[in-house]
Structures are given as C-alpha cells and as structure tokens.
Homo-oligomer: A and B are copies of this chain.
Amino acid sequence: MKSRVVIVGAGFAGVEAAKALARSNSSRSNQIEVVLIDRNNYHTFIPMLYQVATAVIYPQQIAYPIRRMFRGQDAVRFFQAEVTGIDFEQRSVQTSEGLQIDYQYLILATGSQSQYLGVPGAEEYAFPMRTLNDAVGLRNHLLSCLEQAVKLNDLEARQRWLRFVIVGGGPTGVELAGSLVQLISSALKRDFPTLDRSDTQIILVQSGEGLFKGYPERLGTYTARWLRRQGVQVYLKTGVSRVTPTNVHLDSANMDSSDQGHQADPWVIPTQTVIWTAGVEGAIPDPKPSLETTKRQQILAQPTLQVLTQPGVYAVGDLANIEGQSMNGVAQEAIQQGQTAARNILRQIEGKPPQPFDYHNKGRLAILGRHAGVAEIGRFAFGGIVAWLLWLEVHWWYLPGLRNRFGVLGNWLKYYCFGEGVNRIILSVPALEISSPENKFNTLKNHLIS
C-alpha cells in the first residue's frame, strides 16, 4: 500500500520536503504519494520581496508556479486550496470547497505572518510585508504617494505623502529602507522633477538598542551609520504606540543621541505610509488544531521535528519551534528542516526511528543598498561591498527558474549601474472571487489513490 504524505504550505520548507520525497520515490518502487497544498498556485522567493516592493524587479520574477516545479513527477499532486481543518484522529485534512484528504504522514509548513504586538491601528493601517500580494500592494502605494504628492500645493499635505515610516530594524526593515532611498531619489530625479528631495523623509523605527537584533552588534552599528549617511532617520529604542490612517504615534524612553531635535515624547508623525516589519508569528491554519504552541504561535516540535503528541505529524520552517533550539527564520533553516522531515518520514516508513534535526548554519546575509551589505559567516562578521556581492550571488543562485534568473540579472545590472529598476506601473488587480456554484462538491476522499 502506498503511504500518502500531505504537505500544507509550499514555501521553502514544504517544497523542499516534497522534492526530497519525490526523489526518493523512484528508488522505493513508487510507494509514496505526496499531496502538496497551498493557497497560492506559486512558490514565493520571500528574501527578495523588498525588491518587488521597491520596483527593482517584477513580481512574477520571484513567483514560481508550483505545478511547474513538479512537472513529470507523478508522485506529487498539487491542490490550490485553503486548509480549513485538521482531524488528527481520523488523520485527514479538510480544505475549502469540502475537499478532504487522508494522510499517513502530515507536514505542516504554513510559515509565518505579521504580528502587530497589540499596537492599535497597526493591523488596519500599516502595510505588511510577508507575501507577494503585500509587496505588490506596497509598491503600488509607494508609487501612488508620489502621484498624490505632485498634485498638492500645500507643503504640509505634500510632505505627509512623502514621509515613509518603516517599523522594525531587522533585515526586512533595513533592506526596505535602503531600497526605498534609491527608489525615491531615482523617481524624483527622473519622473517627478517638480517634487523637492528635501520634502521627502524615510524613518526607520526600532524598539531595541540596535539594528539587526541577534546578529553581531557591530553589524547593526555599521548598518545604522550607513543608513544615516543615505539620509534615513534611524530612531533606536523607539516604540510605536498607535497607527492611524494619516499618522503614526511614536514613544521613546531614551532617544538615540544622533537624532535629537524632534518633539517631546510621545510624538506624532504625519504620514500616509507605515510599513510593518516588526514582528512575526506562526501562521497556524484556522481553526487552530489542538497542538501545543508558543506565545509567538509557533507549533512546538521535538528535535526530530515531530509534533509532540503526533508521531506522524511534522512541523517545519517558520511555523515550528523546535525544543531547545533558537531559530532565525531564514530560508536555509526552512529548507534543511523540510529535508529532515522528508528523511524522517522515509525512516518511519522503513520502521526506523526518526533522527533529530541538525542545523548546518551556512551564515546570514542582508543587503543594505548599492554596494553595501552585511554578512555573518561562521565566526566572521563584516559589512561592505563583499557582503553585498555575496548576497546577490547567493540569492541569484537559489532563485527558482532559469528565465527568472536571467530577468533578475538584467534588472540588477540596470539597477546597480544606472540606479533605475523596472517600469513603475501601478497595477492592482481586484482579488479573485471564485464563486462556487454549488456546495455539493464531491469530496476527494478515497478518490485520490485511485
């Protein structure tokens, strides 16, 4: 009898697990059947989202069709669906439209989502940066801010559209800030000659004492200095207390010495744009299954990545919190966890015990902007042009799709040589509503195997 492995989520972890299982399948006389489920029909290359948001590259260049990934691999079936429930006793997954899929093994890999830390208005009015939709939506908004500003005669109203506040001093926030500087200066120079550069403002707000929490301290110091030289205002030890449609309220016990001169605490910054990169939590499928989770909504997993109470269920990637290990939420981690989960399932099928996950840290990279990046590799931590080149090379290498790679290479050459990314069009397509004509969809139960 075939063993069916259901994988929920086609991010780095889920895709990697499916690939590993499919690879091993042919040597096992096709005993394994993989069902991969995702709400989108594409895999997103998350580390380059900020480049989509700032119009360096096109959205489809970091989106790769999942079906295309598994062409010719009959062991893997894909369904675009939303998971609506998991029944651990019956060992089955329910999805939107009444699809029901039984499993012998289950890999939960639904990743993470923005966490707004209880800040009033943040969820409603701040722009998140977790999905491709978010990134394109943000790009459209950023470009629209310029189109709005150019129509305004009143200086204060204009500045409100030209002031951009980024909350969160981790890699996403920093990369976005660096790239936004470039977008604004290029757009103003070339397309909005009547707008004044000095009316624009980019503010990066970080609650902690330095940028890049968790990285070596000097990388954060280097980054803050670099960003300030580019004209970004970096507010350290500063919290956000409220977001409204036209303002952000900041709060700081102890302002950083280099950014004196603003109003008393708490103070209000008029802006149309608050970008939220401050917190993430596990994106547990709704309704939440009865599993043990952490405060950050991550599912607790054993060192083998098995969920504590369910030996046939694995949690991997951003969704998982592995007993005793501190995770960084980087793609490498998710990829390696996906591989481990696949390997452990194969061991279980063979009657062998699963083995603990062993993270092989290849290092961490972040990009600041033109000719500047930071890197932490083994015991080395450095910033500058070498880290920048490394970032480009590594990300280019891992980007799925030959055509996307060459497209991105062309865009980068243009961007880093001439300072201009892709065409800045504002294209927002209304969200799709699939009207299900009847709810008497036959379930796929027992049908999938046939």
Interface residues of A (CB under 8 A from B): 40-42, 58-60, 63-65, 67-68, 71, 74, 77, 79-81, 97, 99, 132-133, 136-137, 140-141, 143-144, 147-148, 150-154, 157, 160, 190-194, 245-246, 272, 401, 403-404, 422-432, 434-435, 437-438, 440-444, 447
Contact = CB atoms under 8 A, between A and B. Distances in A.
Nearest to A135: B429
Contacts of A443: 153
Contacts of A401: 423
B444 A40 contact: no
A159 to B, nearest CB: 12
Contacts of A148: 97, 434
A154 B441 contact: yes
24 contacts: A41-B147, A41-B424, A42-B427, A58-B58, A67-B190, A67-B192, A68-B424, A80-B144, A81-B151, A133-B429, A137-B430, A141-B432, A151-B441, A151-B444, A153-B442, A153-B443, A153-B447, A154-B440, A154-B442, A246-B437, A272-B435, A272-B437, A428-B431, A430-B430
Contact of A60 (B58, B65, B143, B430): B58
A443 B153 CA distance: 7
Given A99-B151, A153-B442, A430-B431, 18 more contacts: A42-B426, A60-B425, A60-B427, A74-B193, A79-B150, A79-B151, A80-B144, A97-B151, A133-B427, A133-B429, A133-B430, A151-B441, A153-B447, A154-B442, A246-B435, A272-B437, A426-B432, A429-B429
Given A157-B442, A423-B64, A429 B428 contact: yes
A101 to B, nearest CB: 10
Given A41-B426, A132-B427, A441-B157, A147 B80 contact: yes
Contact of A191 (B71, B150, B245): B71
Nearest to A404: B423
Contacts of A141: 432
A191 B426 contact: no
Majority SS at the chain A contact face: loop
A410 to B, nearest CB: 8
Top 10 nearest A-B pairs (CB, nearest first) are A153-B442, A67-B191, A246-B437, A80-B147, A42-B425, A136-B429, A428-B429, A63-B425, A154-B442, A428-B432
Nearest to A435: B245
Pick from A80, A403, A425 the residue with the most CB of B within 10 Å. A425
A193 B154 CA distance: 60
A191 B65 contact: yes
A441 B136 CA distance: 27
A41 B42 CA distance: 28
Nearest to A139: B429
A233 B440 CA distance: 29
Nearest to A140: B432
Contacts of A245: 435, 437
Contacts of A144: 80, 432, 434
A245 B273 CA distance: 38
Nearest to A63: B425
Contacts of A153: 441-444, 447
